[in-house]
């Protein structure tokens, strides 16, 4: 089948009798895919069309174009402040998580540490824990510490909850750097610090990028944690703001809502595209735990 698919669907070669049956299945493959593609595209299209429609409603329709929705949203103080909040929240989370994940993953990948295996299993288990379990105790802790309603303390908890998976991801990337390079550098006379800075770090850049972007995308979309841990309007990040708007029927126009969520989605899509060329390796879960 694959040998045939490599050829164009039209063309003399497909007339050859033995191929006819296979080409039918090839057509079916592509048609089914297009239908599935529509299923995924339609809900998204509403957002795009409604954002430039002067009179949108819940249905997808050909828009009568306007940029009023965009100027509307960009003129709203609450919308802009939620972008600022999201940026602080996701940025702080990303920096803390990435730095700590890198620092933790290197010794876990390379050094002799007692109970390393148990530690990695604990981390794996931790990354599977539901956040909803932690929300109540963390809320209680934050009340006690007086940390409620601060973007930075909220980011700290987001960092803690994303750290287990980040360590695991980063460790896989560091494991993939041939240890022989470090041996070669050691024999070359380099100090441990120099080896880390000049050999390990440059070769881990893809892993650092993937971990950082992955963490950022998750923190950018985080809802329940800021929803519970912050309350003043200035500290509401995008997701919480959109949720509030969705609940306040009539106060917020369809078009504005579409523009807001569209603008809010753009950064993560761009970041994902940036990351995707490194990312395929992250999905090889074959021998995740040995």
Partner 1 sequence: MLSEVRFEGVHKIFGTETAVEDLNLTVNAGEFLVLVGPSGCGKTTTLRMLAGLERPSYGRILIGDKLVNNVSPRFRDVAMVFQSYALYPHMNVYDNLAFGMRARGASNDLVAQRVRETAEVLGLGHLLQRRPSQLSGGQRQRVALGRALIRQPQVFLMDEPLSNLDAGLRVQMRAELSRLHQRFRVTTVYVTHDQVEAMTMGDRIAVLNAGRLQQVDAPETLYDNPANMFVAGFIGSPRMNFVPGRLASSEGKASVSFLGITTPLGTGARLTAGAASGDVTVGIRPEDLMWRPAAGPDCTLTLHAEVDVVEPMGHEAYVTALCAGETVTSRFPPRSGVRTQESVELALNPARLHLFDAQSGITILQRPVAAAAETLRSVGEARTNEPAEGRSERHRQPEAPLAPSRSEEIS
Partner 2 sequence: MERSKRLATGSAEEFRMAVAGTLGPRLDRERFQWSSLLMLAPGSVLLLVLFLGPVLYALYIGFTNLALVGSRSRDYSFTGLENVTRMLGDYVFIKSSWLTILFVVGSAIVGQSVLGMLLAILLRNAVVPIRAVVGSVVIVAWVLPEITVALIWYAFSQAGGTLSILLGHTSSNYLVLVPMLIVSLANLWRNVAFSMLVFSAGLRNLPSEVLEAAEVEGASVFRRYRLVILPLLRPTIVTNLLLVTILNLSEFTLIYAMTQGGPGIETTTLPIYVYQEAFVFHQLGYGTAISLVLVLIGAFFSLLFVRASRSQV
Residues lying near partner 1 in the complex (CB under 8 A): 178, 180-181, 183-191, 194, 198-199, 202-203
Give the C-alpha separation, 62 to 13, whole Å: 41
CB 54 within 8 A of CB 48: no
Give the C-alpha separation, 127 to 288, whole Å: 13
Give the C-alpha separation, 193 to 188, whole Å: 14
Q: Kindly state whether residue 232 participates in binding partner 2, applying the rule CB under 8 A.
A: no
Q: Kindly state whether residue 290 participates in binding partner 2, applying the rule CB under 8 A.
A: yes
Give the largest CA-CA distance in the chain.
77
CB 225 within 8 A of CB 139: no
Q: Which two tokens stand for residue 113?
A: 């540490």
CB 283 to partner 2: min, Å: 4
Stretch that binds partner 2, among 62-70, 73-81, 182-190, 282-290 (CB under 8 A): 282-290
92-151 residues near partner 2, rule: CB under 8 A: 96, 99-101, 103-104, 106-108, 111-114, 121, 124-126, 128-141
Mapping DSSP to helix (H, G, I), strand (E, B) and coil, where does residue 72 land? Answer: helix
Stretch that binds partner 2, among 37-45, 171-179, 183-191, 198-206 (CB under 8 A): 37-45
Q: Kindly state whether residue 231 participates in binding partner 2, applying the rule CB under 8 A.
A: no
154-173 residues near partner 2, rule: CB under 8 A: 156-157, 159-161, 163-164, 167
Q: Kindly state whether residue 176 participates in binding partner 2, applying the rule CB under 8 A.
A: no
CB 89 within 8 A of CB 239: no
Give 115 or 180: the residue with its C-beta nearer to partner 2. Answer: 115
Work out what residue 194 binds among partner 1, partner 2, none; the CB cut-off runs from 5 to 8 Å by kind: partner 1
- Tell me the residue ranges of DSSP E strands in 27-81: none
Q: Kindly state whether residue 248 participates in binding partner 2, applying the rule CB under 8 A.
A: no
Mapping DSSP to helix (H, G, I), strand (E, B) and coil, where does residue 264 land? Answer: helix
Among the listed residues 13, 16, 24, 37, the single contact to partner 2 using CB under 8 A: 37
């Amino acid at each position: 089948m694959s040998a045939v698919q490599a050829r164009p669907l039209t063309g003399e070669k497909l007339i050859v009798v033995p191929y006819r049956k296979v080409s039918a299945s090839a057509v079916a493959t592509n048609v089914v895919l297009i239908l599935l593609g529509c299923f995924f595209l339609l809900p998204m299209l509403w957002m795009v069309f409604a954002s430039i429609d002067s009179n949108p409603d819940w249905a997808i329709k050909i828009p009568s174009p306007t940029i009023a929705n965009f100027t509307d949203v960009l003129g709203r103080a609450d919308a802009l402040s939620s972008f600022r909040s999201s940026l602080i929240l996701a940025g702080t989370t990303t920096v803390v998580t990435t730095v700590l994940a890198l620092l933790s993953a290197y010794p876990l990948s390379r050094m002799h540490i007692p109970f390393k295996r148990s530690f990695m299993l604990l981390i794996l288990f931790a990354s599977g824990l539901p956040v909803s379990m932690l929300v109540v105790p963390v809320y209680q802790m934050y009340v006690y510490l007086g940390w409620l309603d601060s973007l930075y303390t909220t980011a700290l908890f987001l960092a803690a909850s994303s750290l287990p998976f980040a360590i695991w991801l980063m460790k896989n990337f560091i494991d993939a750097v041939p240890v022989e390079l470090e041996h070669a550098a050691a024999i070359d006379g380099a100090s441990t610090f120099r080896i880390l800075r000049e050999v390990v770090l440059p070769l881990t850049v893809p892993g650092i990028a993937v971990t950082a972007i992955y963490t950022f995308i998750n923190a950018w979309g985080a809802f329940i944690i800021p929803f519970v841990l912050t309350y003043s309007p200035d500290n509401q990040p995008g997701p919480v703001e959109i949720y509030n708007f969705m609940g306040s029927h009539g106060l917020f126009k369809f078009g504005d809502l579409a523009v807001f969520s569209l603008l809010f989605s753009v950064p993560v899509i761009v970041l994902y595209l940036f990351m995707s060329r490194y990312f395929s390796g992250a999905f090889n879960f074959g021998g995740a735990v040995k």
